[in-house]
Amino acid sequence: MDQFAIGVDLGGTNLRAAAVSASGQMIEKIAAGTDLTQGPERVVSDICACIESLRDRHKNLRLAGAGIGVPGFIRMAEGFIVGSHNLPPLNNYPIRDAIEHRLGTPVVLENDANAAALGEKWIGAGRDVDDLVLLTLGTGIGGGIISHGRVLHGFVGMAGELGHLTVVPNGNPCGCGNAGCLEKHASATAIESMANLLALGEHLSAKDVYDLALQGDERAIRLFESVGQALGIAIAMLVNIFNYPLYLMSGGVLAAWDFFYPALEKEVRWRSFSYRNTDTRIGKAALGNEAGLYGAAYLPLQAQKAQTA
C-alpha cells in the first residue's frame, strides 16, 4: 500500500492542506479560512476537519502522518507555538497534542519558513544539496536552515529566525524588541514604509512601488537597491557562518528581483571572502507558496524514515 502524508499551512487568515505522496507528488489540495475569534479549540477543529477530509478521500493510501507549518516560534518538545503575532490565541496552547489525540496519527509542528525550506530541499530548488538557507520575503521575513537534509532546530526549536538578523544596528524598530532587523528593511511592509518616507504616493503597496520602479521612477529604483543591500548584508553573514552551497529566497518580494538582486550580489561579494572564493549559489526558490505544504507533508515521512533507519 503506497504511503502519503498531509501537509498543513496555517496562517493568520488562510488554512491550506495538501495530500502529498511519499515520492513528492501533490495528490490533492484544499483551502479554508482560519477563524481565530472562537479560540484555539476551533482552529484545532478546523485543521482536523481538513486532515480528516483528505484522509477519508485517499483510503487507498497509508497515511504516514501530518505536518503543520505555522508562523511563530516553536517549542518542539512541547508542541507549542510561542510569540506568534499572527496566531495570538494559539500561543502556549498544546496544539500538536490536541490534533494528534483527535486524529490518532503522528503530527509534527514546524515553523512555516522551516517547512518551506524543507520542501525546497525535498523537491524544489535545493533537491541537489543537503544544506541550504531559505529566506521568505513577504509581509515579514522568515528563515529556514536545512543542515544534513533536516531542519536546524536548536535546543528549543527557535533556530532560523533570519528576519531578525540585525542589518542596521540602530535601524527601524521591530516588534521583536530589536532595531534594524532585516525584516524591517527588506520585507513588503518595509518597502511600503520606505515608500511612505519617500512620499512616493498615498498608501502604496509593495506592488505599487514595484510598478513605479518599472516605470523608471528613480526613487523607487533606489528603494529596491536599499532592499538588496539589507538582504546582501544578511546573506553575506550567513555565507560566512555556514559556508553552505545554496541560499534561496521566496515570497512576493521576489517579483522585484531584477531591481534588488544586483545590489544584493554586490554586497555579498564585498562582504564575504568565502562567497568570492567558492561556487556559492544565491537564487530563487522553485515551489512558490506550495513549498510550505510540501515541506510540512515531508515532516512525518522524514520522521518515519529516521525511525526505521
Ramachandran bin of 271, using left for φ above 0, alpha for ψ from -120 to 50, beta for the remaining angles? alpha
12 contributes a contact to its own copies by CB under 8 A = no
Least Å from the CB of residue 176 to its own copies: 5
141: β partners: 137
Output 176 or 198, the one with its CB closest to its own copies: 176
**Cα(102)–Cα(125) distance, integer angstroms:** 35
Phi and psi, residue 20, nearest 5°: -130, 135
91 contributes a contact to its own copies by CB under 8 A = no
Binding residues for its own copies restricted to 206-265, rule: CB under 8 A: 233, 236-238, 240-245
Output 98 or 165, the one with its CB closest to its own copies: 165
User: In the structure grid, which three cell numbers stand for residue 22, read together?
Assistant: 511519499
109, 71, 107, 69: which is closest to 87 by C-alpha?
A: 71
Least Å from the CB of residue 159 to its own copies: 4
Q: Distance of CA 125 to CAs 66, 74, 247, Å?
A: 23, 25, 10
Output 205 or 240, the one with its CB closest to its own copies: 240
55 contributes a contact to its own copies by CB under 8 A = no
131 contributes a contact to its own copies by CB under 8 A = yes
User: In the structure grid, which three cell numbers stand for residue 86, read together?
Assistant: 499572527
154 contributes a contact to its own copies by CB under 8 A = yes
Binding site for its own copies (CB under 8 A): 73, 82-83, 129, 131, 143, 145, 147, 152-162, 164-169, 176-178, 233, 236-238, 240-245, 270-274, 276-278
